A and B are shown apart, each in its own frame.
Chain A
Amino acid sequence: MKKLSARRRHPLAALVVLLLALAATGGLYAAFAPAEKAQADTSAQSLAIEEGKKLFAVGCSSCHGLDGQGSSDGPSLVGVGSAAVDFQVGTGRMPAQQSGAQVPSKKVVYSQAQIDQLAAYVASLGPGPVAPTKEQYTSTDPNDVAKGGELFRTNCAQCHNFAGKGGALTKGKYAPTLENTSPKHIYEAMQTGPQNMPSFPDTTMPEEQKKQIVAFVSHTNDEPSPGGLSLGSLGPVTEGLFGWIFALGALIVTAIWVAAHTTKAKKS
């Protein structure tokens, strides 16, 4: 130590310290700095969260609170995950127009990029279901439709009807029709259980089964009705209406026509 201490006023001492400091900084940087790609991602992610936070403050915070902690007008969004945001905003349910029995789906107000930013922000509040990738909800196995049908009838048909046409719940609430719902949103709805729907997390309904249900719903939406007009696929109520109005109605008109064409003593 004494030797070192004796040379501390050496004219080259400052240079040596500088070199050592530079080497240490460079070495530490090389050791701890993340890979260049990951580095770029992080900044994009934090950028998305930043942007999402701004969008959130404008469009969502009046009900859900400035930090998504919730208020008397809207639930806390901590832990709902990006899948919930993608579903609610992507189907136009959020931002809600007014409170009521149920928030209906309507015209989507955000672009998909903005929705992703909002999702990133909300996801950053706490861990939750992650929006699925295309592979997760796109089925390739043709047998999935039949399997999905069985799962659908067990888990979904009691509210959404056998063909996904929707149904009534209590006090003005309802299970909406799935006719125009995209596969991704169906998947997310099962993950997150929006509004009155129960959620089907991967622990109770594995990814594979969700994919099969999505395959069944997509197939049902696209399949032409083999027996003619489906009358809304709403069961015997619409069939009864059709039978009374069109079938019996046509028969009564026919009867009137037949009775009117007869020989009469006097034409009326």
Chain B
Amino acid sequence: MSTANSATSGASKPASTRAKPANKFEAAADWTDGRLGIYTLAKSNLRKIFPDHWSFMLGEICLYTFIIIILTGVYLTLFFKPSMAETVYHGTYAPLNGIRMSEAYASTMDISFEVRGGLLIRQIHHWAAIVFVAAMLVHMMRVFFTGAFRKPREINWLFGAGLLFLGMFDGFMGYSLPDDLLSGTGIRFMEGAILAVPLVGTYLQFFLYGGQFPGTDIVPRFFTIHVLLIPGIMLGLLVAHLILVFYHKHTQFAGPGRTEKNVVGMPLMPVYMAKAGGFFFLVFGVIAAASAIATVNPIWAYGPYRPDQVSTDAQPDWYMGFSEGLIRVMPGWEIRAWGHTLNLGVFIPLMVFPLVLMAIWVYPFIEAWVTGDKREHHIADRPRNAPVRTGFGAAWISLYVLLLIGGGNDLLATHLHLSINSITYFVRVGFFVVPVLTFFITKRWCLGLQRRDKDKVLHGRESGVIKRLPHGEFVEIHEQLPQDKLYKLTAHEQPQPLELPAEVDENGVARKAGPIAKTRAKLSEAFYGEGGQIAKPTAEEHHEITSGHGHH
């Protein structure tokens, strides 16, 4: 089951001494090998081992939805006209008959109502995009909570972060293209955000939009960026991401026979390839089914964009929702001085927007610095065994969800019969309070689970069988855990907090620790000190308890 020996015979023999190919497949393989060297590639990669765990397939969901998006996107470009030239609609959708609109909107209407399969492909494209970014976020959280970002995978963590960031913006550009009322509102929103940048805002806006809003340039420009520039970069990052996954090999959860130096699982060929290939079609199937069941971005209902019109429920797609929340809960502060206005109500959210994402992306480097750990890690952590990290991740999620609530405050208000003002005030206060509370609750929770694990290791599983002793006492029989379970519960290592070097060294020279070293030691104490983890049971403790007689 571990990394394997070659399955492809004859690869190492020189071509001249090789026997005649047995059949035409082998002949074809030989032909290709002579030109591309596939035998060497195959030898080193086909028996690559992948560990089996459902959470390791989240990245695959991202990969497959990305492929689905590209395939359907190509189909859509065949019919979409990225032009803001004005036209009058005379298509099959009667409720818009005779309405003025842009070519972009009219061609999206045609894709939806006249092109064969167009509406389904459009919906697959859009649903796949929604799921793509969602899956990337979940994949990222899996990597985060299991500590799979640790050395040697830090760079791949950043590649992933780049993919998420680009995915969000490509999605934003994508739903801006049809030039419907909602997408136009989104572009208008972006214009406002750019204008809020001090000094250069106006110039940036003119540069990007080619003049005053809306102009005629923004849709064609977004089109090029959406179908060419960003997907190109994403494809490059994706390949690099996958190459690094191959190079580093996959992480695995602790278990008997699994070490930092091996990978236990299925070989790529044939098992994992079949599984992954099959999973692609399952993903495509689920996305296609969702697209056939539910409508997404019904542009015909929004109507064409006109700068004088707007509809309520004008939210961005979910992955931009937290920026909407930032804008909605921010008080409308302004500073007016020297004939200029600094629009803090928009500028501060604009600055906090990247910080929210950066907060989670820099965490691996902070953790590496605090722990001072330079070793490689290939065994994934259970979240409970890293309470500070888990607490931080949960706090980040709570902040993110809170901002989503802020972004959807109007729908929350109407559907839960609340006041939109109360929701906004709640989010304002919660922005500062909820993540802190979440951090402490999650950390305590992790510690509780660690205690529970310790208890299970030492005292076994509660069997549910109640025994009455001769003197009348009732006790529950505890069953010892099997060896492999014990291993899983105790395999994690527990780092010790860093200690500051002695104030006076062996030669009597005073060495004062700088403020950075002191901060680091303090953080390290917080991570791994007394309140940071529960000491796991030692073999001696376990032996002492289990070697005795009786139930306990």
How many Å from the CB of A152 to the closest CB on chain B?
Answer: 9
State which of B74-82, B303-311, B464-472 sits at the interface with chain A: B303-311
Instruction: Find out whether the CB atom of A236 lies under 8 angstroms from the CB atom of B95.
Output: no
CB distance from B86 to the nearest CB of A (A): 15
A247 adjacent to B290 (CB under 8 Å): yes
Of the listed stretches A7-15, A106-114, A225-233, chain B binds A225-233
Q: Which residues of B contact A238 (CB under 8 A)?
A: 411
What 10 pairs across the A-B complex have the smallest Cβ distances? A240-B318, A227-B295, A167-B312, A243-B130, A235-B313, A168-B410, A259-B54, A157-B311, A162-B311, A172-B419
Interface-facing stretch out of B280-288, B447-455, B507-515: B280-288
Query: Contact partner of B413 among A172, A229, A233, A251, CB < 8 A?
Result: A172
Instruction: Using C-beta atoms within 8 Å of the partner chain, give the interface range for chain B.
Output: 35 or more
Which of A170, A237, A258 has a CB less than 8 Å from the CB of B411? A237
**B70 contacts the other chain (Cβ, under 8 Å)?**
no
* Residues of A contacting B198 in the complex (Cβ-Cβ under 8 angstroms): none
| B293, CB-defined interface residue at 8 Å | yes
In the assembled complex, which residues on chain A have CB atoms less than 8 Å from the CB atom of B283? 251, 254
- Given A153-B181, A239-B317, A233 contacting B99 (CB threshold 8 A): no
> B278 on the interface (CB 8 Å rule)?
yes
Residues of A within 8 A of B130 (CB): 239-240, 243, 247
Within 8 A of A (CB), among B310-361: 310-318, 321
Contact A157 B413 (CB under 8 A): no
- A153 touching B306, Cβ below 8 Å: yes
CB neighbours (8 Å) of B96 from chain A are 146, 149
| Inter-chain contact A248/B138, CB cutoff 8 Å | yes
Q: B414, A259: Cβ atoms under 8 Å?
A: no
B420 contacts partner chain A, Cβ-Cβ < 8 Å? yes
Q: Give B contacts to A, CB under 8 Å.
A: 1, 52-58, 60-61, 94-99, 112-113, 119, 123, 127, 130-131, 134-135, 138, 175, 181-182, 266, 271, 275, 278-279, 282-283, 286-287, 289-298, 300-303, 306, 308-318, 321, 407-411, 413-414, 417-421, 484
Chain B residue with the shortest CB-CB distance to A255: B57
- Give the docked Cα–Cα distance between A244 and B130 (Å): 8
**Interchain CB contact under 8 A, B99 and A240:** no
Closest to B126 in A: A239
Q: Are A251 and B131 in contact (CB under 8 A)?
A: yes
Closest residue of B by beta carbon distance from A229 = B294
Given contacts A153-B181, A162-B302, A240-B317, are A250 and B290 in contact (CB under 8 A)?
yes
Could you say which of B1, B282, B318 contacts A236, with CB atoms under 8 Å apart?
B318
- Please judge, given known A-B contacts A161-B311, A252-B54, whether A149 and B318 are in contact too, CB under 8 Å: no
Q: What secondary structure prevails in chain A residues at the interface with B?
A: helix
Provide 8 A-B residue pairs closer than 8 Å at the C-beta atoms, listed in order of the A residue: A153-B181, A165-B313, A175-B312, A235-B182, A235-B311, A237-B407, A250-B286, A251-B135
Tell me, in angstroms, the Cα distance from A260 to B275 when the chains sit together: 12
Flag if A234 contacts B131 (CB, 8 Å): no
How distant is B257 from chain A, measured CB to nearest CB, in Å?
9
- Are B54 and A166 within 8 A (Cβ)? no
Task: Judge if A64 is at the interface, Cβ distance under 8 Å.
Answer: no
**A94 at the A/B interface (Cβ < 8 Å)?**
no
Q: A157-B311, A170-B420, A247-B131 are in contact. Are A258 and B303 (CB under 8 A)?
A: no
Beta-carbon nearest neighbor of B276 in chain A: A258
Q: Is A30 an interface residue (CB 8 A)?
A: no
Q: Are B278's CB and A159's CB within 8 A?
A: no
Smallest Cβ distance from A193 to chain B, in angstroms? Answer: 18
Contacts of B289 in A (CB 8 A): 250
Contact B292 A168 (CB under 8 A): no
Find chain B residues with CB under 8 A from A246 CB.
290, 294
Q: What would 5 more interface pairs be, CB under 8 Å, given A162-B311, A243-B318?
A: A227-B296, A228-B294, A251-B283, A252-B58, A263-B271
Is B321 touching A240 in the complex (CB atoms < 8 A)? yes
In the complex, the answer to whether A262 meets B52 with C-beta atoms within 8 Å is yes
Complex contact B310–A258 (CB within 8 A):
no
Contact (Cβ within 8 A) A254 B282 = yes
Smallest distance from the beta carbon of B354 to chain A beta carbons, Å? 21
Please judge, given known A-B contacts A250-B290, A255-B54, whether A237 and B313 are in contact too, CB under 8 Å. yes
Cβ of A171 < 8 Å from any Cβ of B?
yes
Q: Which of B57, B413, B484 contacts A168 (CB under 8 A)?
A: B413
In whole angstroms, what is the CA distance A260 to B52 when docked?
9
Residue of B nearest to A246 (CB): B290
Q: Of B286, B300, B317, which is within 8 A of A226 by CB?
A: B300
The CA-CA distance from A17 to B218 in the complex, in Å, is 97
The listed residue with most A CB atoms (<10 A of its CB), out of B287, B295, B484, is B295
Given contacts A243-B127, A247-B127, contact A150 B290 (CB under 8 A): no
Which residue on B lies nearest to A175, using beta carbons?
A: B312
Are B303 and A150 in touch, CB under 8 angstroms? Answer: yes
What CA separation (Å) do A259 and B410 show in the bound complex? 40
